[in-house]
Amino acid sequence: MSVFIDHARIEIKAGDGGDGHVSFRREKFVPRGGPDGGDGGNGGNVVFLASHNLGTLLDYKYEKLHEAEHGQDGGRSLKTGKSGDDLVLKVPVGTLVLDRETGEVIADMDENGKTVVAASGGNGGWGNDHFKSSVNRSPRRANKGQPGQVRSIVLELKLMADVGVVGFPNAGKSTFVARVSNARPKIADYPFTTLVPNLGAVEWAPHKSFYIADIPGLIEHASEGKGLGSQFLRHVERTRLILHLIDPLAYEKGRDPYSDYAALNRELGRFSKELADKQQIVAINKIDAIADSELMEMLVEEFAEKAGIDVFCISSVSGEGIDKLVKALGNRFEKLRSEETEKGNKDSNGERWSFNA
């Protein structure tokens, strides 16, 4: 299993252009050979390519400098130097490419196969043939190739999950994700078992699926760096829907379930207002461990009264209530995606009509 790396800093350098050449024709039976110096080849670009076959930025943790090929110098007989090959750097889908010095987002690699030129190669220099004229028939001048662009780059991976699962440590997030998807996270009975987000595909109806990810290490004050949450909150930003997994045994740990829910919502809001505004579904997990049915009824009523939200009662171990919850997640996801598509179509139509007017 590869190590999960979601942040990397690298240096990239495009190839330098080749120098133009200075030479003159020296052929038998050609008494007045003119300049025939060829142009230099262009330097290669540095290109980022989004690939769904990658899930980590591990390749960029230790290798910091990435340089494209230089263009070759021009030659005699108007021969142009070979252009340098582009350097293609593959990154996982969901990677942000940022300029380290300015903070500018160069590209959001949010689609498989998407490419962006992050550093442009230098142009090749002109050979002396370019400088001949009626008053200068034997130019001894050629241009140097231009240097390739150099940039400091920050790569930041944000998982492309449709549903993000949040909850306090030991709420059963990994067990839930393992039960409903093809992900196989580490599961153990101690806090902070999960040290990396786990992404999996959930088939909720025939030929219908969505991606789900559990976000590890979220506790109160996570947005300020406590626990592991500050490292992984960025992975919730791209999700369409948030699933709060509630631990009803929080009373035994000196907390209570609704306070856990409210605390995590505060952390989401502190990290990003957009994140706090995302739609949510709440599920109380571990109902197989609760013998007191009145306690469960009390919890459901508390969420309805204080948050105005219905909750699902499930057991990730026994499977009770899981199918109903997954179907609800799928239907809500389909609705949100449909609304986004409709909004996009309206925006496009509005721009078009405005242009025609």
Mean pLDDT of 211-238: 62
Predicted local confidence at residue 193, as pLDDT: 45
Regarding whether 282 and 235 lie in a shared domain, the answer is yes
Q: What is the pLDDT of residues 314-331, one digit of tens each?
A: 999 999 999 999 999 999
Mean pLDDT of 229-242: 72
Regarding whether 168 and 40 lie in a shared domain, the answer is no
pLDDT at 353 over 60: no
pLDDT at 349 over 90: no
Domain boundaries, position 99: 7-157
Domain for residue 353, yes or no? no
Average pLDDT of the residues of the chain: 84
Regarding whether 324 and 228 lie in a shared domain, the answer is yes
Q: What is the pLDDT of residues 148-192, one digit of tens each?
A: 999 999 999 887 788 989 888 888 888 899 899 876 655 444 444
Secondary structure class of 264 (helix, strand, coil):
helix
User: In the structure, what pLDDT confidence band is assigned to residue 217 with cuts at 50, 70 and 90?
Assistant: low
pLDDT at 90 over 70: yes
Predicted local confidence at residue 354, as pLDDT: 38
pLDDT at 36 over 60: yes
Domain for residue 130, yes or no? yes
Regarding whether 100 and 65 lie in a shared domain, the answer is yes
Predicted local confidence at residue 25, as pLDDT: 85
List Cα–Cα distances, 12 to 87, 119, 153, in angstroms: 10, 7, 7
Predicted local confidence at residue 192, as pLDDT: 42
Most trustworthy range by pLDDT among 3-7, 8-12, 185-189, 236-240 = 8-12
> For 255, phi and psi rounded to 5 degrees?
-120, -175
Regarding whether 338 and 194 lie in a shared domain, the answer is yes
From 157, 181, 208, give the residue that closes a domain: 157
Q: Starting at the edge strand that comes first in sequence, how are the strands of the sheet with 46-51 ordered?
A: 87-92, 46-51, 115-119
From 157, 188, 219, give the residue that closes a domain: 157
Write the CB contacts of 89 (distance below 8 Å, at least 6 apart in sequence): 12, 46, 47, 48, 49, 60, 66
Predicted local confidence at residue 185, as pLDDT: 54
Predicted local confidence at residue 118, as pLDDT: 97
Most trustworthy range by pLDDT among 85-94, 214-223, 228-237 = 85-94
Provide the 10 A C-beta neighbour count for residue 312.
20
Domain for residue 179, yes or no? yes
User: In the structure, what pLDDT confidence band is assigned to residue 32 with cuts at 50, 70 and 90?
Assistant: low
Predicted local confidence at residue 326, as pLDDT: 96
Residue type (1 letter), 355: F
Predicted local confidence at residue 227, as pLDDT: 43
Regarding whether 187 and 133 lie in a shared domain, the answer is no
List Cα–Cα distances, 281 to 105, 270, 296, 321, 329, in angstroms: 32, 20, 17, 14, 8
Domain for residue 150, yes or no? yes
> For 29, phi and psi rounded to 5 degrees?
70, 10
pLDDT at 216 over 80: no
Structural domain total, the chain:
2
Secondary structure class of 323 (helix, strand, coil):
helix
Contact criterion met (CB below 8 Å) for 246 and 315: no
The HSE-up count of residue 57 (CA atoms within 13 Å, CB side) is 22
Regarding whether 270 and 327 lie in a shared domain, the answer is yes
247 closest CA partner among 276, 294, 289:
289
Regarding whether 172 and 140 lie in a shared domain, the answer is no
From 125, 141, 157, give the residue that closes a domain: 157
Mean pLDDT of 130-152: 93
Regarding whether 132 and 168 lie in a shared domain, the answer is no
241 closest CA partner among 204, 273, 212, 283:
212
Predicted local confidence at residue 355, as pLDDT: 36
Predicted local confidence at residue 190, as pLDDT: 41
User: In the structure, what pLDDT confidence band is assigned to residue 113 with cuts at 50, 70 and 90?
Assistant: very high
